Chains A and B, each alone.
Chain A
């Protein structure tokens, strides 16, 4: 037989991404499911209730869960098609080791040998270079039990300072701003308080695409007369029917909040009693915002003065309100300042801590809230305690039966971990639930660092783009293959239930981590036999802290459809609304409703600073980035689900017709966008719904389609969040060879 010509040999990558569609048993309407499992969606921070249909250890579809109070059966397209991630052809069923000769670059290996190799490499690197030379990157889509375990694994088992998580790219600016203003990092209100508000302010939140179910809350409020103000450089679907649209120039949010407060003070639209009795720092802020006249605010924000005046009047004179924001104001080198500016106008109005008077960040990831509370952040211990605080160290060390002096000191953030690889300080890496090659800014730098590591082990259920640089890949668990808890955007702790067993050699992530600890001979404190055991210990470790889970049990979660923390004892039913008059908290000890020793909230002066990289003659346009409704984060899951990919197959460059005309670009043309760090060539989407000085590119794609080749790694000095929402670029029609 003649040799097969080379081009006809299949070059399909065994690890995908393969597009899964509804086929076989999933299409057969005659099949009765073995069971319906009540659980939650695996994607965003809203954590909609859903029932998974299970047949022969496979999730074959879903049924709405009408009784779960947050979403009452509603789901976005990601939730509807989420079941297609199970029994997927790309699923990792074995441990793998790098082998460039093998298809896809990896060869299956024995699980126990893989664990042995990981333990040996950790031991070697820590012995040769010091404990901190081995770093961990974790994620906020893991259950809270797993995030607790990751923190304990880092701080007690490996004793490395260097653990951080992908919430660093997501919620940390809001977290830091909330801590500085309220003393606590949690949405102040349950979403039901949106329904009765007469004024809703949405800054930098593409609600309809990134938190779709929240749309119904906002629009239900509107049905009963609420006015909606949307602040965004783009007319997003939630902005389409709002009462006032403020088309802000990216990176100028703090100027707007300062300008609004200026007008509130000038017109005496203030709650003097609240400011006097429940806050400190108002005078300094009032003095600071004197300079923020409507004219100056308009010049800096790019919003017409009349819109600013109208917004201030509506906000200033409302009797109930809800202010919400998301990454649009948080993904900045001054993200914390933006958040504090937003909170300043809430505090000045006095509309907080009461029914229909609320404030919240719309947390992005599935466990964005719980994942930032219990110890996988670089400076944190369970219960939202601080790794740098001696009392906190002593308490947690007591629960863990270890010497507090053996706990490492705070480490560095997720991006700094890559800089430390560059500097030769970090030599080994374990990642789980994180795909930094797609999700971190300036990812050409990230790629170069991955190539420098002496050893890299990735845990995942699919071979994500970053894991392709790993030496060892361990097969972890999908959301539906394990149980545990997550905490939603509202601050509601809920129960995730297991629907199916892990396939093949894959196992629950916490089992894998404990197997590594055991192979290291450092299994002390890491011998849990179930998530319930972890949750019980987490409750004790969080007791007395701000994020107090000690009164929560799995039974209570099921019985109450979730419990809002803090929940400090067995009789407590949880705390849906924070800061109610007369409420008690462990910091104020009854002196007031806010989480400071005097019980008062803080006004914080929030000075305006331009973005780190502003436009200039060479790079005259602003690039801003975000999501589309049918994809999620770095796309590891959603780029493998056929119907979701079909909805929005490729990223496009959104630009205004005025700009397009100036550049000779028509809708659908191939266009190259270029920053000082990288470039990408994509098709144009020419629409009147974006500022003419700004272009938008969604970020879910890898490689040459990745907008994070262009973004800047500038970070907020406090929260360390990267500045995804603004950098300088130039745009041109693509050369024909560039497509």
Chain B
């Protein structure tokens, strides 16, 4: 396996099957055993079985750390944003409220913010994180840029996200269709009447459109 520093994390929501294997496997990680740092939800179960896993994106300039009044959240040299340091965390919830991706969780029992540390115990010794190891559809993929380029010719990684006026770049990449000119994912786009929102606007009801209709 290549050196940990060459390994990257890629998310492809179009592959997510909603099985919760990542959520379950996350609880097996030795750095936070018994607790899952991943949330997985339906986008709109009424119209589609589409689900999306939310894992930490490990921002280059982490909002969670920036808003922390106790300076409890550290980003290590390899770009991993760690769980709050226990001696410093004051359980104020600033990070929970401020994270644009909605990742950190407050553990009320421990008075500690906890979040994904990219399975530090595993990735630091060259093993894949638990979630990306087990993901049956490989919506969560851990490997090199070259591997993802070969395995996913229809898509490419993007790691810049727009939230209102804030642009966030991340260690973790999101796979987008290769042909799209998009280099910056506007996360709130669907709330606005932008060209991007139009492009993802109502699609044909695949089920009804393909059913036989008696005339």
Judged by a CB distance under 8 angstroms, whether B110 is at the interface is no
Which chain A positions have C-beta within 8 A of B205?
A: 688
Judged by a CB distance under 8 angstroms, whether B211 is at the interface is yes
**Contact of B14 with A299 in the complex, beta carbons under 8 Å:** no
Judged by a CB distance under 8 angstroms, whether A305 is at the interface is yes
Closest B residue to A297 by CB, please name it: B212
Judged by a CB distance under 8 angstroms, whether A643 is at the interface is yes
Q: A644 vs B19: C-alpha distance in the bound complex, in angstroms?
A: 10
Spot the interface stretch: A233-241, A276-284, A492-500, A531-539.
Answer: A233-241
**Contact of B46 with A27 in the complex, beta carbons under 8 Å:** no
Q: A717 vs B17: C-alpha distance in the bound complex, in angstroms?
A: 36
Q: B20: shortest Cβ distance to chain A, in Å?
A: 5
Judged by a CB distance under 8 angstroms, whether B69 is at the interface is no
Interface residues of B in 104-125 (CB under 8 A from A): none
Which chain A positions have C-beta within 8 A of B165?
A: none
Judged by a CB distance under 8 angstroms, whether B162 is at the interface is no
Q: Tell me how many residues of B have a C-beta within 8 Å of chain A.
A: 45
**Contact of B212 with A630 in the complex, beta carbons under 8 Å:** no
C-beta contact mask, B108-145 vs A, less than 8 Å → 1, else 0?
A: 00000000000000000000101001111110000000
Closest B residue to A308 by CB, please name it: B212
**Contact of B134 with A73 in the complex, beta carbons under 8 Å:** yes
Q: A215 vs B208: C-alpha distance in the bound complex, in angstroms?
A: 25
- If A212-B19, A216-B138 touch, whether A688 touches B24 (CB-CB below 8 Å) is no
**Contact of B212 with A688 in the complex, beta carbons under 8 Å:** no
Which chain B positions have C-beta within 8 A of A61?
A: 28
* Neighbour of A215 across the interface among B20, B33, B136, CB < 8 A: B136
Q: A240 vs B213: C-alpha distance in the bound complex, in angstroms?
A: 22
**Contact of A76 with B27 in the complex, beta carbons under 8 Å:** no
Q: A485 vs B170: C-alpha distance in the bound complex, in angstroms?
A: 46
Interface residues of A in 231-281 (CB under 8 A from B): 235-238, 240-241, 244-247
Closest B residue to A641 by CB, please name it: B24
**Contact of A223 with B154 in the complex, beta carbons under 8 Å:** yes
Which chain A positions have C-beta within 8 A of B151?
A: 220, 223
**Contact of B25 with A80 in the complex, beta carbons under 8 Å:** yes
**Contact of B34 with A27 in the complex, beta carbons under 8 Å:** yes
**Contact of A247 with B49 in the complex, beta carbons under 8 Å:** no
Which chain B positions have C-beta within 8 A of A647?
A: 20, 24
Judged by a CB distance under 8 angstroms, whether A423 is at the interface is no
Judged by a CB distance under 8 angstroms, whether A687 is at the interface is yes
Q: A247 vs B212: C-alpha distance in the bound complex, in angstroms?
A: 9
Q: A201 vs B44: C-alpha distance in the bound complex, in angstroms?
A: 27
Judged by a CB distance under 8 angstroms, whether A79 is at the interface is yes
Judged by a CB distance under 8 angstroms, whether A209 is at the interface is yes
C-beta contact mask, B43-54 vs A, less than 8 Å → 1, else 0?
A: 001111111000
Closest B residue to A23 by CB, please name it: B34
Q: B14: shortest Cβ distance to chain A, in Å?
A: 6
Q: A689 vs B211: C-alpha distance in the bound complex, in angstroms?
A: 12
Judged by a CB distance under 8 angstroms, whether A219 is at the interface is yes
Q: A153: shortest Cβ distance to chain B, in Å?
A: 37
Q: Tell me how many residues of A have a C-beta within 8 Å of chain B.
A: 59
**Contact of B17 with A235 in the complex, beta carbons under 8 Å:** no
Which chain A positions have C-beta within 8 A of B210?
A: 244-247, 303-304, 307
**Contact of B14 with A29 in the complex, beta carbons under 8 Å:** no
- If A215-B136, A216-B136 touch, whether A80 touches B21 (CB-CB below 8 Å) is yes
Judged by a CB distance under 8 angstroms, whether B206 is at the interface is yes
**Contact of A236 with B213 in the complex, beta carbons under 8 Å:** no
Closest A residue to B152 by CB, please name it: A223
* Neighbour of B136 across the interface among A213, A235, A302, CB < 8 A: A213
C-beta contact mask, B20-39 vs A, less than 8 Å → 1, else 0?
A: 11011101101101100000
Which chain A positions have C-beta within 8 A of B206?
A: 235, 245
Q: B62: shortest Cβ distance to chain A, in Å?
A: 25
Which chain B positions have C-beta within 8 A of A222?
A: 154
**Contact of B48 with A64 in the complex, beta carbons under 8 Å:** no
Q: B140: shortest Cβ distance to chain A, in Å?
A: 10
Q: A302 vs B213: C-alpha distance in the bound complex, in angstroms?
A: 8
**Contact of B20 with A691 in the complex, beta carbons under 8 Å:** no
Judged by a CB distance under 8 angstroms, whether A683 is at the interface is no
- If A209-B19, A240-B49, A686-B46 touch, whether A301 touches B134 (CB-CB below 8 Å) is no
Judged by a CB distance under 8 angstroms, whether B209 is at the interface is yes
* Neighbour of B21 across the interface among A212, A241, A246, A691, CB < 8 A: A212
Judged by a CB distance under 8 angstroms, whether A62 is at the interface is yes
Q: A29 vs B30: C-alpha distance in the bound complex, in angstroms?
A: 6
**Contact of B207 with A689 in the complex, beta carbons under 8 Å:** yes
Interface residues of B in 192-215 (CB under 8 A from A): 205-214
Q: A237 vs B21: C-alpha distance in the bound complex, in angstroms?
A: 14
- If A22-B34, A305-B212 touch, whether A688 touches B207 (CB-CB below 8 Å) is yes
Q: A473 vs B34: C-alpha distance in the bound complex, in angstroms?
A: 34
**Contact of A688 with B21 in the complex, beta carbons under 8 Å:** no
Judged by a CB distance under 8 angstroms, whether A119 is at the interface is no
**Contact of B213 with A27 in the complex, beta carbons under 8 Å:** no
**Contact of B213 with A643 in the complex, beta carbons under 8 Å:** no
**Contact of A77 with B211 in the complex, beta carbons under 8 Å:** no
Q: B186: shortest Cβ distance to chain A, in Å?
A: 22
Judged by a CB distance under 8 angstroms, whether A190 is at the interface is no
Q: A216 vs B45: C-alpha distance in the bound complex, in angstroms?
A: 22
Judged by a CB distance under 8 angstroms, whether A108 is at the interface is no
Which chain A positions have C-beta within 8 A of B100?
A: none
Q: A687 vs B206: C-alpha distance in the bound complex, in angstroms?
A: 13
A to B CB contacts below 8 Å, 23 in the list: A28-B33, A29-B33, A64-B134, A74-B135, A75-B136, A76-B19, A80-B24, A208-B17, A216-B138, A223-B151, A223-B154, A235-B49, A235-B206, A241-B14, A245-B210, A247-B207, A299-B214, A301-B212, A304-B211, A688-B46, A688-B207, A691-B207, A691-B211
| 6 nearest A-B residue pairs (beta carbon) | A212-B136, A208-B17, A237-B17, A215-B137, A75-B134, A80-B24
Q: Please give 12 more A-B residue pairs, beta carbons under 8 A apart, in addition to A235-B49, A240-B49.
A: A61-B28, A215-B17, A224-B153, A235-B207, A238-B17, A245-B206, A247-B211, A303-B211, A687-B46, A688-B48, A689-B47, A690-B207
